[in-house]
Amino acid sequence: MSRKAKDLVSLLRLHSWTVDERRRELGILLAREEELIQFGLRLDQELLHEQKVAAADPTFAGYGFGAYVQNYRLRREQWMRTLDALRGEIEQARDHLAEAYRQLKVYEEVKEKRVEQERIEEVRKEQIAFDEIGQTQFRQRSAR
């Protein structure tokens, strides 16, 4: 393998590591998204529970439930903003992963072409050597 091909192997290793790193980053963000979705579901379940409690206890409904609903709305709005921001980060992470993967594929194709060119050059040199051997043998036979 030539020096150029070895350099490409190093670049491939680097870009492969970059792709893996981008995948890990995306995985972390997707796990965080799932946590946020679960939090939103718990928030909604909590509201349903509080509604049942308020329906069963008119005193709580009059004093505590209104404050709870106000707090719920604030928490829900904050949750939605956080989830929207996270989804933006996820989209950006997907773009970065796709770009890293495209770069890796380019380097893989270049490496494959270089290896193929080196193989063709090696075959060409062997053929020249065989031709030279054949010509030498022909000249020797002709000289006899």
Give residue-wise pLDDT tens across range 37-90: 999 999 999 999 988 888 888 776 677 888 889 999 999 999 999 999 999 999
Asked if the structure places residue 112 within a domain, the reply is no
pLDDT attached to residue 60? 67
**How large is the average pLDDT for residues 7-34?**
93
Asked if the structure places residue 23 within a domain, the reply is yes
Q: Is the pLDDT of residue 7 over 80?
A: no
Instruction: Assign 3-class secondary structure to the chain.
Output: CCHHHHHHHHHHHHHHHHHHHHHHHHHHHHHHHHHHHHHHHHHHHHHHHHHHHHHHCHHHHHHHHHHHHHHHHHHHHHHHHHHHHHHHHHHHHHHHHHHHHHHHHHHHHHHHHHHHHHHHHHHHHHHHHHHHHHHHHHHHHHHC
Asked if the structure places residue 92 within a domain, the reply is yes
Asked if the structure places residue 136 within a domain, the reply is no
Asked if the structure places residue 114 within a domain, the reply is no
pLDDT attached to residue 23? 97
Categorize the per-residue pLDDT at 5 as very low, low, confident or very high, splitting at 50, 70 and 90.
low
Q: Which residue in 49, 104, 101, 38 sits closest to 72, CA to CA? A: 49
Residue 48 burial (CB count, 10 A): 9
pLDDT attached to residue 1? 59
Q: Is the pLDDT of residue 30 over 90?
A: yes
Q: Which residue in 46, 39, 45, 47 sits closest to 83, CA to CA? A: 39
Condensed to tens digits (0 to 9), the pLDDT of residues 89-108 reads 999 999 999 999 999 999 88
Condensed to tens digits (0 to 9), the pLDDT of residues 68-79 reads 899 999 999 999
Give residue 48's domain range. 3-106
Asked if the structure places residue 62 within a domain, the reply is yes
Condensed to tens digits (0 to 9), the pLDDT of residues 102-136 reads 999 998 898 888 888 889 999 999 999 988 998 98
Asked if the structure places residue 93 within a domain, the reply is yes
- As for how many domains the chain has, the answer is 1
Asked if the structure places residue 87 within a domain, the reply is yes
Give dist(CA 106, CA 85) in Å, integer.
Answer: 32
